[in-house]
Chains A and B, each alone.
Chain A
Amino acid sequence: MLTASAGAPVMTSARHLGPGHYAHVVFCVLVFVFLIAPILVVVPLSFNAQPYFTFTEGMLRLDPDAYSLRWYTMVATSDAWLRALANSFLIGGSATALATALGTLAALGLSNPAMPARPLVMGLLISPMVTPVVISAAGMFFFYSTLGLTQTYLGLILAHAALGTPFVVITVTATLTGFDNNLLRAAASLGAGPWRSFRRVQLPIIAPGVASGALFAFATSFDEVVTVLFMGGLEQRTIPREMWAGIREQISPAILAVATLLIIFAVALMVTVEWLRRRSQRERG
């Protein structure tokens, strides 16, 4: 049994703790392995010289001939993957711009104590995040097809923007809770109009929150496959849509190469968001 000695902070020192503590540490290490190992395992396999999804004997012997960049070459020269990349950035970028602009504005309104019907509005604006995507995508398919927006870029951009806005609203609202409204009063007393004081005083301070929200919205679109499946045509295939096809049909190790690139991209996004979060925390003290 794990016991904590009186006065000492719990769980910070292993010296006075019994076997229960070590069991806890081992358990946590195993859970971390469960979280991380499945993601890492595709990285070496993407360099497999053979079209297999498992480690060949040569790979285990670290034989250089067992490794190759052939799957990366294949992806880099594939029209389908390159078009998917362009589509993902086009749809993701446009959806993010739309979601960030609308979401930031709304967060400014929601952070105002005078905002009427605040809980109701917040519940409405967050709902795209918790609604199962299959339902959203089915509804969007029905509704957008009456407007002729299925199988168009505009349709997917609107759909992804709707799914991304809750993330912007949440992060920017969270950033604004620490914002000192006296700064705006000071700006107004110095003669700045509302737009100028927003642009020159408020926006620079909440910028990290806005940027994190935008990255969340972009990641949402960049990883979204269900609306693309239901509404997109051949023209609008994105990277996740190509991966979906690749997993469902005959999977080629080219998918592992794409997966590895996406992992690197995800880590870059995550590090950026963490950096922004810590920066804004530091600025707020």
Chain B
Amino acid sequence: MNAAASVSAPAAVAKRPKRPRGSRLRAAALALPLVAFIVVTFIAPLGTMLVRSVHAPVVADAMSETVALLGDWDGGSLPAEAVFATAARELLKAREDRVIGQVATRVNRVQAGLRSAVTRTARRLRGLQPESWRAAMIETHAAWGEVDTWRALLLAGERYTGRNYLHALDLKRDAAGDIVAQPSEQRIYMALLARTLAVSLAITLLCLLLGYPVAYFIAHAPPGRANWLLLLVLVPFWTSLLVRTTSWIVLLQSQGVVNDLLVLIGLVNDDERLALIYNLNGTLVAMTHVLLPFMVLPLYSVMRTIPATHMSAAASLGAGFGKAFWRVYWPQTLPGVGAGSLLVFILSIGYYITPALVGGRTGQLISNMIAFHMQQSLNWGLAAALGGILLACVVALYLVYDRLVGVERMKLG
């Protein structure tokens, strides 16, 4: 070991610049403010989201003693009177502390229908001094007389839980604690994830299909014309996403420009206007439009470096255009194809705005479900778990991109 280290050390020293430490420190010091800024404003939020996807402290905090007592419970029959008394006390306390609504929501997510058991009991028990808390609680709500309710309370009391991820994967734990599939009518998230991946793949292929010939055209046009054509690709790139989405609504809605035109030339009857938007079609068309520049630009920058003489040489050796293209040109553009396709795919699996505005019901993607749980159902734990799954997909693709293309070679405009 020592011998090897002493052999290689001088060589390494010789390679380094003269003042390595000072230089390294200065470079690191320059980057440090932004690294710190990104860690605080961006990485910490992502971390918070991931923590929230597994961290559910509401019941564990508000009903800590009940949950502890239930830990020793056999689970076969109703808990002892002491558990009822503790639960009643902690429910009343939770109501005083104004967290009873959160406790009810949390318990209700474990077992639907228990919300009113929690809130009503906490309301009605106030001021009572009954002989038996068990009898009093069962009287306010019959659910307390069932073993499943207490099991749900115990599960809701887990401070760290995989429930959100199970839910996001269309799984759940049954009464016995085994992981089973959700009933088929409640399996929505995996189908949505599959649709998101399929739609992203379709958009990537559409962009490649439309973008490749265009990039070729621009790359091999005379320089002056190429600059103008590039501007045509860049205009959509710079135009506000909301403007472009508005444009597609104006064009494609049932009273829109395209339908008017089709009616005018008699291809479509006035009362049978085509549903071109507010469905999957709207998402596909608008997103292809939005993401096409991200395909054309990397392709163009690769194609520009391929000398025209390569194709000429192939032709002079007797290859027709098809063969010369396939054997000589296409392989050289593969880095651009890979870079553009990965970029478009990464951007599309996380897309939110365009599907939300023009996707209707059938054109929604996984991001829209995250936004729904963030803003409407307020099931933030589930939103965070779905976000965690989507983030894992994006990070995996980002690493592939970094390996194949190199993040450092990412260019703009």
Say which one of B59-67, B180-188, B242-250 lies at the interface with A. B242-250
Q: A73-116: which have CB < 8 Å to B? A: 98, 102-103, 105-106, 108-110, 112-116
Q: Is A235 an interface residue (CB 8 A)?
A: no
Cross-chain contact of B35 among A5, A28, A106 (Cβ < 8 A): A106
Cross-chain contact of A126 among B211, B239, B407 (Cβ < 8 A): B407
Find out whether the CB atom of A4 lies under 8 angstroms from the CB atom of B324.
yes
Give the CA-CA distance A122 to B320 in the complex, in Å. 44
Counting chain A residues whose Cβ lies within 8 A of the other chain, the interface size class is 35 or more
Residue in chain B with minimal CB distance to A146: B48
Find out whether the CB atom of A263 lies under 8 angstroms from the CB atom of B239.
yes
Q: Is B98 an interface residue (CB 8 A)?
A: no
When A41-B247, A105-B31 are in contact, do A128 and B412 touch as well, CB less than 8 Å?
A: no
Q: Which B residues are in CB contact (< 8 Å) with A8?
A: 312
Q: B76-115: which have CB < 8 Å to A? A: none
- B61 nearest CB across to chain A (Å): 16
Give the CA-CA distance A212 to B349 in the complex, in Å. 28
16 other contacts beyond A38-B289, A262-B243, A267-B238, with CB at 8 A cut-off? A1-B322, A31-B292, A35-B236, A42-B243, A45-B250, A110-B31, A114-B20, A121-B35, A123-B407, A134-B370, A144-B45, A173-B408, A247-B357, A262-B240, A269-B238, A270-B238
When A102-B37, A112-B27, A226-B352 are in contact, do A270 and B231 touch as well, CB less than 8 Å?
A: yes
Q: Which A residues are in CB contact (< 8 Å) with B233?
A: 35
Find out whether the CB atom of A4 lies under 8 angstroms from the CB atom of B35.
no
When A38-B248, A39-B247, A103-B34 are in contact, do A12 and B222 touch as well, CB less than 8 Å?
A: yes
Q: Which B residues are in CB contact (< 8 Å) with A116?
A: 24, 27-28
- A205 nearest CB across to chain B (Å): 17
Give the CA-CA distance A126 to B402 in the complex, in Å. 11
Find out whether the CB atom of B371 lies under 8 angstroms from the CB atom of A134.
yes
Find out whether the CB atom of B229 lies under 8 angstroms from the CB atom of A34.
no
Chain A positions within 8 Å of B, measured between CB atoms, are: 1-12, 20, 24-25, 27-28, 31-32, 34-36, 38-39, 41-42, 45, 52-55, 98, 102-103, 105-106, 108-110, 112-116, 119, 121-128, 130-136, 138-144, 146, 158-159, 161-162, 165, 167, 169-171, 173-174, 212, 216, 219, 222-223, 225-226, 229-230, 240, 243-244, 247-248, 251, 255-256, 259, 262-263, 266-267, 269-270, 273-274, 277
When A115-B27, A142-B384 are in contact, do A222 and B240 touch as well, CB less than 8 Å?
A: yes
Q: Which B residues are in CB contact (< 8 Å) with A142?
A: 45, 48-49, 52, 380, 384
Find out whether the CB atom of B260 lies under 8 angstroms from the CB atom of A39.
no
Residue in chain A with minimal CB distance to B371: A134
- A16 nearest CB across to chain B (Å): 11
Find out whether the CB atom of A121 lies under 8 angstroms from the CB atom of B31.
yes
- A39 nearest CB across to chain B (Å): 6
- Interface-centre pick from B234, B250, B255, B391 (highest chain A CB count, 10 A): B250
24 contacting pairs across A/B (C-beta < 8 A): A6-B312, A10-B308, A38-B251, A119-B407, A122-B408, A124-B39, A124-B43, A125-B35, A134-B370, A135-B391, A136-B46, A146-B48, A162-B37, A165-B37, A171-B412, A173-B408, A225-B241, A226-B352, A240-B242, A243-B240, A259-B240, A262-B243, A266-B238, A274-B234
Q: Which B residues are in CB contact (< 8 Å) with A9?
A: 220, 308, 312
When A38-B247, A132-B352, A240-B240 are in contact, do A31 and B23 touch as well, CB less than 8 Å?
A: no
Q: Which A residues are in CB contact (< 8 Å) with B255?
A: 52-54
Counting chain B residues whose Cβ lies within 8 A of the other chain, the interface size class is 35 or more
Give the CA-CA distance A105 to B36 in the complex, in Å. 13
Give the CA-CA distance A136 to B41 in the complex, in Å. 10
Give the CA-CA distance A108 to B347 in the complex, in Å. 28
When A3-B321, A41-B257 are in contact, do A132 and B394 touch as well, CB less than 8 Å?
A: yes
Q: Which A residues are in CB contact (< 8 Å) with B31?
A: 105-106, 109-110, 115, 121, 125
Find out whether the CB atom of A247 lies under 8 angstroms from the CB atom of B407.
no
Q: Is B12 an interface residue (CB 8 A)?
A: no
Find out whether the CB atom of A277 lies under 8 angstroms from the CB atom of B257.
no
Q: Is B280 an interface residue (CB 8 A)?
A: no
- A230 nearest CB across to chain B (Å): 6
Q: Which B residues are in CB contact (< 8 Å) with A31?
A: 210-211, 213-214, 292
Q: Is B265 an interface residue (CB 8 A)?
A: no
Find out whether the CB atom of A1 lies under 8 angstroms from the CB atom of B321.
yes
Q: B16-39: which have CB < 8 Å to A? A: 17, 20, 23-24, 26-35, 37-39
When A114-B23, A132-B394 are in contact, do A230 and B375 touch as well, CB less than 8 Å?
A: yes
Residue in chain B with minimal CB distance to A17: B321
- B361 nearest CB across to chain A (Å): 15
